[in-house]
Chains A and B, each alone.
Chain A
Amino acid sequence: MVGKRKHMSGARWIITAVAVAGALVAAGCGSSGGKSTTPSSTSGTKAPSTAAVSTSQCGTKAGAAATGTPIPLGVIVTNQPGTSFTDISNMAAAYFACVNANGGIKGHPIKYYIETEQTNPAQIAADAKQLVQTDHVVGIVGNTSIIECSIDSSYWQKLGYDIIDSGIAPECWSTPNSAAVNMGPRYSSDGAVQYALSKHVSKIVFDQSNVPGTGYIAAGPAALAGAAHVPITQLTENVPISDADSVAIKEVDDAGPNGAVVLNFTPPEALVILQAAQKLGLEDRVKLWGCSTPCNTDFLATSLGPKWNDKLFVNAELTPPDVTSTPTMKLYEAMLKQYGKAVSGGIGSFSQMGFTEAEIAVHALETITGPYTVASVNAAFKAVSNFNTGMLCQTWTYGSYSMHIPNNEDYTVTPDNGKMVTAQGCTQISSVDPQIKAYRSLAGTAPPAG
């Protein structure tokens, strides 16, 4: 019996080993398969003049590889099943790689340390300490995390880091040490609600995912609807949603035929709700549907059918790539192609945010004349003023304010047969939102990016 057991245990080990090997092989196949799952949004409608754009304009000395002492920068991004922001950090890394290949920062290459986290507060705090104490980063660029700003903001303040991020948690906009390139869930929802209000709807139903900060997010739309004397119902859904049908029915019933349903969810969750509404024939039972910026992906436009053309209006925090062919946009697309192999989502708001954050950082670093220390780098970040990123409605400013909402003017887009097209150009988020009002009283209104 013992011998038989040993024999079986040997067989079991072999099977386990085979299973793991099979998994490795599958992962190898899968990652290439994963790449090809990106619907290439560059096909068809884009002007093909990207071929002529040289990525070397990202740096100061075309073709000269930077070989000096590296400038270490760090980033913390969420990467867990269902929520992954690694495209943002990977695109920023691509930008830095481009700069390093074209002169660096006065000959110094940028070394980018990427820490991923699974929404675990202790892990996020540990990641920040790793970046500072072990990797000795002098600046933090590109943080995108559901809760990082809340966890680390006092740590960054204590050590004097002024981070450039694409935020989600309230502290990304309400503390002195964080300035975001995006608007985040509250102000983006403001934008979507504002658009709905501009179409004279009689009721707003605002539904969001039940992740940290729902009250903070809900306060914006509540203020806007209140000022317009339009009733607003605030709902939350536990995610992941397993009963999208009942969610869609509930929203539509509450909004009524002249109402609007505005959603604030991650793309997969927003998709199931909208698809459920479509399957149940509910999409026309309200005047219009709105969504905050996560819905602004071509994935969503493709997955939804043509029924949502001019029916769903999505707030877009960044300049829509599909209808823009400025030099910066062309650079972005060329850089993505040449250096962005790890960016699985291709052209879209995630990689755009990464590009913009890196662009700002590089612009700031190039102004530094002495050594690259925590003090000098973060002073340079804070000194960024009215910088035209080419990706936003306005110029971007950091500044020494107690709070930062530098991106407060956005587009509205709508699906058009599988792509997102502009429905409304740059529109300011209303000062009725008390946080926006507070920021504008500190920083004024930034000039439009001409």
Chain B
Amino acid sequence: MADTAVAAARPGQRSPLPRPGTGTLVRAGVVAALLLFALFGLPQLLSLYYIDSMTQVAVWSMAALGLGVLVGRVGLVSLGQVAVLAIGAWVAARLLFATAQPYPLVLLEAGLITMLTGTLIGLPALRLRGLYLALITLMLAGAITVVLATANFPNGGHGFFGYNGSLVNIPPIRRPGVAGSDPAYFRYAVVVAALMFLLVLVHIRTRPGRAWAAIRQSEPAALAAGINTWFYKLWALALASFITGVAGGVLAGADHYLYSIDFPTYYSITLLAVVLMGGAYSLWGAIVAGLLWQLLPSLLQNWGVSADWLTILFGVGVLQVLTTAPAGLADQVPKDLARLGRLLRGLATRRTT
């Protein structure tokens, strides 16, 4: 992940994907092992309660990944990603009720339509910078939330909105045929998430990633180097919207029932908080963010601790991250562990001398 700090590529130069070195191979091996463990080990070890939580972790890790691309890679802060997630979920739910299309197709369509919507809505906002961009995304999210509250999520009804408010028995949103049970759907979600992470990784290792790194360093300098900053910012926005849209689709199947009250505006704020805490720059950070947001509440519930303490923790976490560890836990914990390792080694050598 560290080799993205490369100077801006010259325009027109097409370099192939870098050849993997030993470090990369080791990392890839670790990732593969963890993935296999998640797919085959976790469903055996965890109760259904925790498998359901881990499915949510997969979904929200994707949302965090999308936000991480914007915040960590390009430096665009969006305070409206949960609204984008809601759009993705809405589209997927509508398609799942209205058509008999296979699930992967529905997810793809949800991703693409969300990408289109997110890009169109976000396009004019790209002219703004930093703070104003963030605040305008908050405004747009607020507007979308109100529309959703009135339009509601599809629940099997007819018409464009697919919402029938008078139902006494609401049908559930279907899941893919191969992944109906909770453990199977968990595996499905993990596979989709892995694909999304791979998609981002490919972007990072190729031209867009270098362009984003240059923009993040200094937009004027990137412009001067001939990079079409507007185009790459748009690309990042499109990618983030696509991933979040797909995440919304997976959420629709995971939840079976969608309600507008589950996507309040302030969730976008909390999502930013966990992304910052996990580490916006690192892909691992997105997974940490998902764990913080979805696994911690389940754990706290079992320990009898109120969910309010989690809100407080996130608040403290944001303050802590912004003042002392800007790269988040994913960056800080390895550093802390490395420091601990050095300390222990120092103690060991001191004892022997």
Contacts and interface: CB of A to CB of B under 8 A. Distances in A.
Indicate, yes or no, whether A interacts with B: yes
B49 A216 contact: no
A442 interface: no
B297 A123 contact: yes
Chain B residues touching A, majority SS? helix
A9 interface: yes
B139 to A, nearest CB: 16
A297 interface: no
Contacts of A23: 312
Contact of B307 (A80, A170, A216): A80
B168 A174 contact: yes
Contact of A121 (B47, B257, B302): B257
Interface string A209-225: 01111111011000000
A375 interface: no
A69 B90 CA distance: 48
Contacts of B306: 79
B47 A130 contact: yes
Interface in A108-129: 115-116, 118-123, 125-127, 129
Contacts, number: 109
Contacts of A134: 47, 49
A386 interface: no
B307 A118 contact: yes
Nearest to B312: A23
B164 A215 contact: yes
B169 A170 contact: yes
Q: How large is the interface on B (under 10, 10 to 19, 20 to 34, 35 or more residues)?
A: 35 or more
A373 interface: no
A151 interface: yes
B166 A219 contact: yes
Contacts of B48: 126, 129-130, 133
A312 B168 CA distance: 30
A388 interface: no
B32 interface: no
A435 B254 contact: no
Nearest to B145: A238
B53 A170 contact: no
Given A19-B316, A127-B49, A129-B182, A151 B256 contact: yes
A206 to B, nearest CB: 14
B276 to A, nearest CB: 15
A147 B168 contact: no
A81 B55 CA distance: 25
A238 B146 contact: yes
Contact of B261 (A19, A130, A150, A212): A212
Interface string A123-156: 1011101100110000000000011001100100
B22 interface: no
Contacts of B262: 119-121
A216 B168 contact: yes
A12 interface: yes
B254 A122 contact: yes
A20 B315 CA distance: 11
A121 B55 CA distance: 12
A175 interface: yes
Interface in B302-339: 302, 306-308, 312, 316, 319-320, 323-324
Contact of B320 (A16, A125, A175, A212): A16
B169 A175 contact: yes
B311 to A, nearest CB: 9
Contacts of A216: 165-168
A125 B261 contact: no
Contacts of B49: 126-127, 129-130, 133-134
Nearest to B55: A122
B280 to A, nearest CB: 20
B255 A122 contact: yes
Given A125-B256, A129-B49, A150 B307 contact: no
A79 B305 CA distance: 12
A171 interface: yes
Contact of B149 (A13, A122, A238): A238
A117 to B, nearest CB: 8
Contact of A16 (B170, B254, B255, B316): B316
Contact of A9 (B52, B150, B324): B324
A154 B259 CA distance: 18
B170 A20 contact: no
A125 B254 CA distance: 10
Interface string A1-26: 00000000100110010011001000
A218 B316 CA distance: 43
B172 A147 contact: no
Given A116-B301, A134-B49, A238-B146, A212 B166 contact: no
A115 B301 contact: yes
Contact of B259 (A9, A147, A175): A147
A210 B150 contact: yes
B164 to A, nearest CB: 7
Interface of B: 47-50, 52-53, 55-56, 146, 149-150, 164-170, 172, 182, 254-259, 261-262, 297-298, 301-302, 306-308, 312, 316, 319-320, 323-324
Interface of A: 9, 12-13, 16, 19-20, 23, 79-81, 115-116, 118-123, 125-127, 129-130, 133-134, 146-147, 150-151, 154, 170-171, 173-175, 210-216, 218-219, 238, 435
* CB-CB nearest 3 A-B residue pairs: A215-B165, A126-B52, A130-B49
22 contacts: A9-B323, A12-B320, A80-B307, A118-B307, A119-B261, A121-B259, A123-B53, A123-B297, A125-B255, A126-B49, A126-B298, A129-B47, A130-B49, A133-B47, A133-B48, A133-B49, A146-B261, A147-B257, A215-B165, A216-B168, A218-B166, A238-B149
Given A16-B320, A79-B307, A216-B167, 15 more contacts: A12-B324, A20-B316, A121-B256, A123-B298, A127-B49, A133-B49, A170-B167, A170-B169, A170-B170, A171-B168, A173-B168, A174-B169, A218-B165, A218-B166, A238-B146
